[in-house]
C-alpha cells in the first residue's frame, strides 16, 4: 500500500533534488495497481512531461523495473524492442521511472520528467530513496 502521505514524502524529496539540480520537473507516484496517487508539476516544468511522468511511473510498476533498464532492452535489436507500442502508448522507455519497494516487494513507482535523462533519473532516485 502507498498512502497519499507516502506519495507526498517521496515527491518532497524529489522536488528538493530537482531544486538542487536546477531543473523544474513533473513528478508522479502510482500505487501497486499502476494507478496515479499524486502528481505535481513544478513551476516552469514542461507541459509535455505531465503525461511522461505519469507514464514512467506506470511503466516502472507495470514491469517492476526502472524505465532506464527497460529502455536498454527496448532498443532496436533488443529483446523488448517495440514494447513502447503496447499498453496504448503508456510505456516509457527512457530514464526517470523507478519502482518503489517495501520489504522487497514492488508496491508502486515514481516517474519524473522535465530534464535530461540523467537529471530525471537522479531526481527519481532521490524520491525512491525517501520511500
Residues in touch with a copy of itself (CB under 8 A): 3-4, 7, 31-43, 46-52, 55, 58-59, 61-64, 71, 74-77, 79-89, 91-95, 116-118
Q: How far is the CB of 127 from a copy of itself (least distance, A)?
A: 15
Separation CA 98–CA 125 (nearest Å): 7
Q: CB-wise, 7 or 126, nearer to a copy of itself?
A: 7
Q: How far is the CB of 129 from a copy of itself (least distance, A)?
A: 22
Q: How far is the CB of 54 from a copy of itself (least distance, A)?
A: 9
Max distance between CA atoms of the chain, in angstroms, equals: 42
Residue 95 grid cell = 530514464
Report in angstroms the alpha-carbon separations of 41 from 77, 108, 109: 35, 19, 17
Question: How big is the chain by its Cα radius of gyration, in Å?
Answer: 13
Q: What is the crossing angle of helices 117-129 and 4-21, to 10°?
A: 140
Q: Report yes or no: 1 and 32 within 8 Å, Cβ to Cβ.
A: yes
Q: CB-wise, 3 or 20, nearer to a copy of itself?
A: 3
Q: CB-wise, 56 or 128, nearer to a copy of itself?
A: 56
Q: How far is the CB of 65 from a copy of itself (least distance, A)?
A: 9
Q: CB-wise, 46 or 130, nearer to a copy of itself?
A: 46
Amino acid at each position: 500500500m502507498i498512502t497519499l502521505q507516502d506519495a507526498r514524502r517521496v515527491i518532497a524529496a524529489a522536488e528538493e533534488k530537482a531544486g538542487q539540480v536546477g531543473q523544474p520537473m513533473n513528478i508522479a507516484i502510482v500505487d501497486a495497481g499502476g494507478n496515479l496517487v499524486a502528481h505535481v508539476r513544478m513551476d516552469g516544468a514542461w507541459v509535455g512531461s505531465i503525461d511522461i511522468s505519469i507514464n514512467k511511473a506506470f511503466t516502472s510498476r507495470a514491469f517492476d523495473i526502472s524505465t532506464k533498464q527497460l529502455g536498454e532492452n527496448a532498443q532496436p535489436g533488443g529483446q523488448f524492442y517495440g514494447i513502447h507500442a503496447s499498453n496504448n502508448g503508456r510505456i516509457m522507455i527512457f530514464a526517470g521511472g523507478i519502482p518503489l519497494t517495501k520489504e522487497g516487494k514492488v508496491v508502486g513507482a515514481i516517474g519524473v520528467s522535465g530534464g535530461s535523462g540523467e537529471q530525471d533519473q537522479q531526481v527519481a532516485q532521490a524520491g525512491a530513496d525517501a520511500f
